[in-house]
Structure 1
């Protein structure tokens, strides 16, 4: 038996309970991992509410990214073994003492100097942001990168990565403390969308307009950012964390020659099986070298996962919300 967060009905953070449930069964092609830490993401809330693109049958264990140590591997699995330190990405199941997951969805890392919380918080946001900038945005050194929702998980990762790649990130967020965190992550300029006109400020900062817009939130700032792009820029749609899917006037795309593209991190390995793994390895190497680093905004024990989800829903955390399941699995956090 293991401790786990369990969702038995659709709803918000209040529907999550901590229970003792049977250990999951090992299946062909899978590995069993003892979970050290798990990180929360906005899709966790959408899946719980039943409003995400992919549905999960009830009851289920939420949580899509984690760090941990491999306990056992199925007989047909190669390249991984018991004792390996790994991080992983699933649709659900991470908020538990153990997770059984397809071997292709976990990645082994050198055990020296591993920080369980940071490793758990890396996968979703940093691979998403890297694909937005590298795979689809084709970012180049010196380019202006406008990041919407820059104080959120994907936003901060995009700022951090853009800086590491030699681009010039502009953080668009709300409030002085959030913008200060963006500046610490490497933003060369910041815009408070609650007090400033995004279109005007972007043009003032860049002169000719933004080269790339990374948009994980949608909402009112989307069209303003598009209007402030240079001709031939790239607008990359990552998600709609604001809850508002903007209606973009397509004449703007025509007049500006803008390339608009969107993708789901959940399915990119299926659609780009040759490119996506290479780019994921690139950002992992930068992470392991310490060139980029996830910001941990809030940490909670498994018993308080509901509070972590509430803070995520309220958007009052700068950076990632991490749940300590059993950090001793990998040593100190």
Structure 2
């Protein structure tokens, strides 16, 4: 089997194709013939040894795949690594049959990023109709889905993006206002776009962007942090939290893997929303399996829009 193997922490050049033994099915697992493997910021963090979970080398990245089991049944599922491969193991608890009216490309956008967007909005933030919510990286995998889900839930969306082209994409997805995420006066721009402080916000950059976003949240508002793509973790000022009665929560999707109802509920809602046209996954570039290093480089440079994937047959 051909797979991407990480030999040491470092730059993209440590990702390369090698022959590795085929995984042996274990209790509760199915062996999947991989069609597409999703590429996520988590994979970049793993390569740089800055992921939330410890990584033992050598390691095969990849936390989501679309493929076939049992001679052709299409499935999409979540892994704890091992996705950048021709074959991998999926636990049945985090594996779902792909409906006939959902394409492989749409399905790969829903497994990790779709579930993350859904639970960030409806489990962590618990947004309600009429509230205003800030969505960062609004042309990216999670952000583009979160914009649409929030709009269809009746929320007003202030979308953040770092380029004019990405801000245009966010507006086309339904965002009520778009803001340059690189602006020095980010707090003021968010508040101006929203017509006042916001009730809810997502945050995935860290550092100064975290602080600027939190400052735009209204008293008794909520912020959910789900990443630090900028490379700098943020410290939460507890005095400010108390003074404004703010709620700041962290979110990491693997904490839901053992939950018997959370992910099945969100996957069913996501499949239904795509099938009836309410949700349109923003599909980005698809790379060959041997181009995983380039996919990581592009993602870290924040140049792509939409969902990135590896086509293992190329």
TM-score bracket, normalised by the shorter chain, equals over 0.9
| Alignment partners' CA distance in 1, 2:276 and 2:63 | 24
Please report how far the alpha carbon of residue 273 of structure 1 lies from its aligned counterpart in structure 2 after TM superposition: 4.8
Work out whether 1:304 is the aligned partner of 2:303. Answer: no
| Alignment partners' CA distance in 1, 2:215 and 2:47 | 35
Q: Which structure 2 residue ranges, 5 or more long, are not aligned?
A: none
| Alignment partners' CA distance in 2, 1:240 and 1:187 | 23
CA RMSD of the aligned region, Å? 1.9
Work out whether 1:204 is the aligned partner of 2:192. Answer: yes
Work out whether 1:235 is the aligned partner of 2:223. Answer: yes
Report the equivalent of 1:286: 273
- 3-state SS of paired residue (2:128): coil
Structure 1 contact 227–252 (Cα < 8 Å) conserved: no
Q: Which structure 1 residue ranges, 5 or more long, are not aligned?
A: 72-81, 328-333
Report the equivalent of 2:304: 317
**Scaled by the length of structure 1, what TM-score is found?**
0.88
Report the equivalent of 2:213: 225
Please report how far the alpha carbon of residue 101 of structure 1 lies from its aligned counterpart in structure 2 after TM superposition: 2.2
Report the equivalent of 1:103: 92
Please report how far the alpha carbon of residue 20 of structure 1 lies from its aligned counterpart in structure 2 after TM superposition: 2.8
| Alignment partners' CA distance in 1, 2:269 and 2:221 | 24
Structure 2 contact 179–193 (Cα < 8 Å) conserved: no
1:150-229 matches, cutoff 5 A: 150-195=138-183, 197-229=185-217
Aligned length in residues: 314
Structure 1 contact 38–121 (Cα < 8 Å) conserved: no
TM-superposition CA deviations, 1:162-199 (whole Å, max 9, x none): 12222111111211011111112221101113246222
- 3-state SS of paired residue (1:260): strand
- 3-state SS of paired residue (1:266): helix
1:62-141 matches, cutoff 5 A: 62-71=61-70, 82-110=71-99, 112-141=100-129
| Alignment partners' CA distance in 1, 2:160 and 2:212 | 11
- 3-state SS of paired residue (2:234): coil
- 3-state SS of paired residue (2:253): coil
TM-superposition CA deviations, 1:238-273 (whole Å, max 9, x none): 111111112232222222222211121111244x55
Greater Cα offset, 228-237 or 248-257: 248-257
